Chains A and B, each alone.
Chain A
Amino acid sequence: MDLTVYLLDTLVFMGIFALLAMSLNVEYGFTGLGNFGKVAFFMAGAYTYAITAALGWPFYLCLVFAALVAGALGALISLPALRLREDYLAIVTLTFGEILRIIIKAEQGLAGGVWGITIPSAFAGLDLTPRMTAWANVVLVWVIVVGVFVFLQLLINTPYGRVLRGIREDDVAVQVLGKSFVLYKAQALMVGSAIAGVAGGLFAQYLRFIDPYMFLPLVTFLVWVMLILGGPANHWGALIGAVIVEFFNRGSRFLKDYLVLPFDPNNVQFIIFGLLIILLLLYRPYGLFREKPLRTGAEAEVLKWPSSP
């Protein structure tokens, strides 16, 4: 196998998972919402992309539509649970992922059911070599990753982002200040799900074939590992977490394919990830990168005062 293509392939997957980790960061890291069905919105994006691409839409429209559909689903599915305790949201999102997969599997006419669906490449008309296509995908994915990163960094330092953090700390206090926390939580889930939808669209476009077995709850768990390891409420943490976890994910697959071992590296990997999460939650719940304090204009103003530290 061409080593360059393999490395580029790894970079594409790191970018797609970085998007997922950042989308969970909006929901969990900043707003304090436990979305345990991340894979559902990833899947919604991927299948929306597949279906619209089959209709002959240009790839950027497919991506936008994937974001819209996943975002709308995110807001919709959370509504019954948002007024209730966090555990209800967790159960609803988790089970929604299972239901969406069942629907895709059962409705053969919609997108191929268990047999999967093929997707045209976004770069089909350009007549590129495999290596150049891989480069094009890396650029496409990472331009979007950087765009989303900058957007989210700006978003969390706006008053809007401060309300989200406020909800995480004490949603009743935010309600007292006249902000409807249900509305804000629904919006956070909408933004997070839309980003996951874009990740799904990119995933479908890159692989050019998807089937329901690619969207197991395992994906959600991997995204949680990335965020808890990297550091919730810090987008650098989400990014680095995604890169590290995907690196090990690749490594274990590599071991499985090229070495004969007395154990299955994939099993061992998930046992280690599980234990790692438990140890992190016990001894280092803020992950590798801590949350940064708020940056506002007031900070610079305070430093001008002679009495300030």
Chain B
Amino acid sequence: MIDTGQILVNSLVTSSLYLLAGTGLTLTFGLSRFPNFAYAELITVGAFCGLLFLAQPGGVFVLALVGAFLVAGLVSASSYSLVFQPLAERKTSLIHLMVASIALGYVLRHTIGEIWGWSAQAYQLMWTVYTIGTVRISSLWIIMIATAVLTAVVLHFFLTRTRTGKAIRAVASNPELASVTGINKQKVILLTWFFGAGLAAVAGVFRAADTRLFPMLGWDILLPIFAVTILGGIGSFYGLIIAALLLGLAENFGVVLLSSIGLSTEYRMAIAFLILITVLIVRPKGLAR
């Protein structure tokens, strides 16, 4: 029995997660010109900060979201100025930057593992489940979708209407020209690393609230996040929105298709991988350019 309405709702939830988690990756990838593999761990950092803030007296979900945003943003911005900026100044190769980001990811992941342990935990939160016709939707899912839509709208106006937003786009499209016009390149990059990681942390809190949390949480969704980043076109926020919607639909309809032809639903990840490979062969620049 295939319930199309339910699959569409599930797809929207998945897309919202990928959009929030992918925004920072695509923007920093576009600005700094290398994929930060430690992004997975920034998502995880967010999820565990959420756990920490929820455990405080009077800890409400909004506080967890804000706290995770700030902490992950600080971790990301300081990792940029302590590791990646010095490496970039030494004219390090792209591969070295990627290796450094993987190494940073291990430092973060094992620090989390040392503090909170490796077994799965869960937030002590309850969500109301609404039933509309045959479609079930929890209040958490509504918050997730609303946050993603709000983020998309705010970022759209931020990138097109504010000076800082325009500066980010300028540095991404032509760093030299942007510097010549008096834009403080380092400040713009640092700001993007901060806000991008903050959004990734928000995605981490949502993921943890929706499922469980463990040190591999971020790593487990890194593949689809890379897939949406490349499908959307590296650095393109609008491409990312479309790609996140497409991958959300592909994964959720794909899972139904997989189980109907008798394959394991573990292949959910393989759908993202297939899309990634196809994009690289057919249109490596992605949808947006």
Residue of A nearest to B268 (CB): A102
Query: Could you tell me the distance in whole angstroms from the C-beta of B30 to the nearest C-beta in chain A?
Result: 12
B114→A271 contact, CB < 8 A = yes
Known: A87-B98, A224-B102, A277-B103. A102 touches B270 (CB 8 A): yes
Question: In whole angstroms, how far apart are the Cα atoms of A95 and B220 in the complex?
Answer: 11
Measured between beta carbons, the chain B residues less than 8 angstroms from A95 are 223, 226-227, 272-273, 276
B155 CB–A CB distance under 8 Å: no
Chain B contact residues (Cβ within 8 angstroms of A): what range?
A: 35 or more
One of B104, B227, B264, B276 near A274 (C-beta < 8 A): B104
A267 to chain B: which residues have CB within 8 Å?
A: 110-111, 113-114
Task: Give the one of B37, B219, B230, B276 with max A CB within 10 A.
Answer: B276
Within 8 A of A (CB), among B198-248: 219, 223, 226-227, 230
Residues on B with C-beta less than 8 A from A81 are 280
Q: Are A273 and B284 in contact (CB under 8 A)?
A: no
Q: Within residues 231 to 278 of chain A, which ones have a CB less than 8 A from any CB in chain B? A: 263-264, 266-268, 270-271, 273-275, 277-278
Identify the closest chain A residue to B264 (Cβ): A106
Measured as residues with beta carbon below 8 angstroms from the partner, the interface class of chain A is 35 or more
Q: Does A183 contact B (CB under 8 A)?
A: no
Q: Mark B149-165, 1 if CB is under 8 A from A, else 0.
A: 00000000000000000
- C-alpha gap A275/B105 in the complex (Å): 10
Partner of A91 from the list B90, B106, B219, B276 (CB cut-off 8 Å) is B276
Tell me whether A165 is interfacial, beta carbon within 8 Å: no
Whether A282 pairs with B106 at a CB distance below 8 angstroms is no
The answer to whether B98 and A36 touch across the interface, beta carbons within 8 angstroms, is yes
B256 lies within 8 A of chain A by Cβ: no
Q: Which residues of A contact B223 (CB under 8 A)?
A: 95, 98
Main secondary structure of the interface of B (DSSP, over half): helix
Given contacts A95-B223, A106-B266, whether A271 and B106 have CB atoms under 8 Å apart is: yes
Q: CB distance A36 to B102 under 8 Å?
A: yes
Q: Are B284 and A88 in contact, with the CB atoms below 8 A? A: yes
User: CB distance B35 to A277 under 8 Å?
Assistant: no
B94 contacts which chain A residues (CB < 8 A)? 34, 85-87
Option from B92, B98, B272, B281 in Cβ contact (under 8 Å) with A80? B281
Taking the complex as formed, is B99 at the interface, i.e. its CB lies under 8 A from any CB of chain A? yes
Which residues of chain B are within 8 angstroms of A268 by Cβ–Cβ distance? 110, 114
6 residue pairs of the A-B complex, CB under 8 angstroms, read: A36-B98, A94-B37, A224-B99, A271-B107, A274-B103, A282-B87
Question: Other than the known A92-B277, A281-B99, what 6 A-B pairs have Cβ atoms closer than 8 Å?
Answer: A88-B284, A90-B95, A94-B37, A102-B267, A273-B106, A274-B104
Residues on B lying within 8 angstroms of A by beta carbon are 34-35, 37, 83, 86-87, 90, 92-96, 98-100, 102-107, 109-111, 113-114, 219, 223, 226-227, 230, 263-264, 266-267, 269-270, 272-273, 276-277, 280-281, 284
